[in-house]
Homo-oligomer: A and B are copies of this chain.
Amino acid sequence: MRNYQVIAAEKVAQRSSKIPKDWLISPDSSKDATNLLHIPTNCGVLSDVEYNITSNYDATALLEKLRAGEFSAEQVTRAFCKRAAVAQQLVNCLTEIFFDEAIERARQLDAERRDSPDPSSSLPPLWGLPISVKDSFAYQGHDTSTGLACYAYEPSPEHSALAALLLDLGAVLYCKTNLPQSIMTGDSDNHLFGRTLNPRNTRLTAGGSTGGEGALLALRGSVLGVGTDIGGSIRVPAVCNGIYGLRPSVGVVPHGGVRDVTVPGTVGVMSSAGPMATSMRDISLFLRTIMKAETWRYDSTAVSIPWGNMNPKKERLRIGLVEDDGLYTPSPPVRRGLKKVADILRGRSDVEIIPIALPNVGQIYQDLLSYYTLTGSDYYFEQFARTGEPLVPSLAALTPLLAIPGTTLKGFFDLNVRRAEAAKTYLSLFRDSDLDAILMPPAPHTAVPLDTWSTITYTGLWNYLDYPAIVIPVDQVREEDATDDISNAKFGAEDARVYGLYTGPEDYRDAPICIQLVGYRHQDEALANTAAVLDGIINGN
């Protein structure tokens, strides 16, 4: 096989060729800026209408406009293709680009609608909506390289289950988004496509592993994207980019036909597919639409729990408040964000806040790492070696993890025994306090400088237990978020090291502050309902 650098040079050139010439922006557009969010406004590529379409609606509102015929599918698709092209030039968030196919499909959708005897009644629920997906979802006719040179130029013979389902639901897929080498780090950086930048602050990470999606959404090159999450890979980029992100219970959203680069047949802690969006109601829209869609017909790995049209109204929500996970002390802005939210909720008669502590996170985290490395990491290295790829910095930083030798079948069963015990303990936590959700930070920090995100205890706990979890943006770093003494890190040297990453509001300018809401396993609908109520209270949505 050829060297990865040769493959990457060709691949990147090919990708560039997919952006029409008149959609190119001046290379100087982002010069000296660390916050790039304003650039799509005045770069000259989008018309006023296209700027309006991409700026002023979430997916729910766009679907209303599409359904009403106020925007055509082609118009909306072209607008998001253009804005995604701009985003790509600014932050390198895309992998596969198929704008031409998408616009052609949108044209067909419009034509079919014109020719239909009863146009509006027969439209599928996502009719005409552009949706972006992480690179690991197979899309027929395009690579599923996951950023590895060894898988470049191998077009997928068929759609992943979710891609096929989204198309049947009327959506338009137009691009795939960037991710880290190995899909296991907090920086979406690989040797095939390079690094995705954070458009809010280019000195901070865009997050991973679904970081391309996060950056694309922040720039509104998409309003609805799909990622995967086995330790935080939807929620970490949601935090970094200030968007909404849901990790559903495993299998609720079809995961079949997703390439993960782990040993085939691996079980234990499983990856989950889920939505990323600019509003809470779009998260609910996605979840509801998928859960109503008989996913089992698309995916033999699906856990096809039907949407139950549960009554979302409760007299009084019971919310468990977790201030820290006992391993990492939240940084000053994260503490301020959580306190702000808790204070708002404490002032409500329809919410009760119950302070709780998370049991045994240290042991759980160790076991989570053991699940990730059941067979060691040789399989990764073998894939990298095919084209001579070295490790990207964020993966090289995980060297201790990569050195874990793996375990035996007996060792695997022992992990399962401990997890079954933890599952009982955490069920008690939920049930005995009759919780509707747990409210906690999604991480001990906001987006951090490039290649320094190493902590997934706040997110990974819920992968270990397979609980659904939603990230909701609530604020951003402000001048008041001064550093404080590192002695405030309560849990030892590693905590102090991570706590020390926060160097004050100047370095962290515009970094979003988010909360995480966690529901019980398979109660994804109930969590979405609870999150919608709380988001309404917190963010006035």
Question: Chain A residues in contact with chain B, CB under 8 A?
Answer: 263-267, 296-297, 300-301, 303-306, 308, 374-375, 406-417, 420, 423-424, 426-427, 431, 520-523
| Bound form: Cα–Cα A286–B263 in Å | 40
Q: Is B265 within 8 A of A424, CB to CB?
A: no
How many copies of this chain? Answer: 2
A selection of 27 A-B contacts at a CB cut-off of 8 Å is A263-B410, A263-B413, A264-B413, A265-B415, A265-B416, A266-B413, A267-B267, A296-B427, A296-B520, A296-B521, A296-B523, A297-B427, A297-B431, A300-B424, A303-B303, A304-B521, A304-B523, A306-B306, A308-B308, A374-B409, A375-B413, A406-B409, A408-B409, A409-B409, A409-B411, A409-B412, A412-B412
Is B308's CB under 8 angstroms from A265's CB? Answer: no
Do residues A304 and B424 form an inter-chain contact, with CB atoms below 8 A?
A: no
Say how far A260's CB is from chain B's closest CB, in angstroms: 13
| Contact flag A375-B409 (CB < 8 Å), given A265-B416, A265-B417 | yes
Contact A410 B300 (CB under 8 A): no
B contact residues around A416 at 8 Å (CB): 264-267
Report if A413-B300 is in contact (Cβ < 8 Å); known contacts: A305-B305, A306-B306: no
Instruction: Tell me if B409 and A301 are in contact (CB < 8 A).
Output: no
CA distance A431 to B410 in the complex (A): 37
Bound: A407/B415 CA distance, A: 17
Residue of B nearest to A262 (CB): B413
| Contact across chains for B420 and A300 when beta carbons are under 8 A apart | yes
Give 4 A-B pairs besides A264-B416, A303-B303 with Cβ atoms closer than 8 angstroms: A264-B413, A296-B522, A300-B426, A308-B308
Once the chains are docked, how many angstroms separate the CA of A267 from the CA of B267? 9
Tell whether, in the assembled complex, residue B301 and residue A265 are in contact, meaning their CB atoms are under 8 Å apart. Answer: no
Q: How far, in whole Å, are A417 and B423 apart by their CA atoms in the complex?
A: 26
Residues from chain B with a CB closer than 8 A to the CB of A374 are: 409
- How far, in angstroms, from A263 to B410 measured CA to CA in the complex? 9
Pick the contact of A414 from B265, B420, B426, B523 — CB < 8 Å? B265
Q: CA–CA, A415 to B412, complex, Å? A: 15
A256 to B374, CA, bound (A): 26
Q: For residue A407, which residues in chain B have a CB less than 8 angstroms away from its CB?
A: 409
Across the interface, do B301 and A423 meet the contact criterion of CB distance under 8 Å?
yes
Task: Tell me which of A306, A411, A414 has the highest count of chain B C-beta atoms within 10 A of its own C-beta.
Answer: A306
CA distance A64 to B431 in the complex (A): 32
Distance of A414 Cα from B265 Cα, bound (Å) = 6
What residues of B have a CB within 8 angstroms of the CB of A413 in the complex? 263-267, 375
Write the chain B residue with the least CB distance to A413.
B265
Chain B contacts for A523, CB-based, 8 A: 296, 304
Chain B: minimal CB distance from A64 (Å): 28
Pair B423/A300 contact, Cβ less than 8 Å: yes
A427 touches B303 (CB 8 A): no
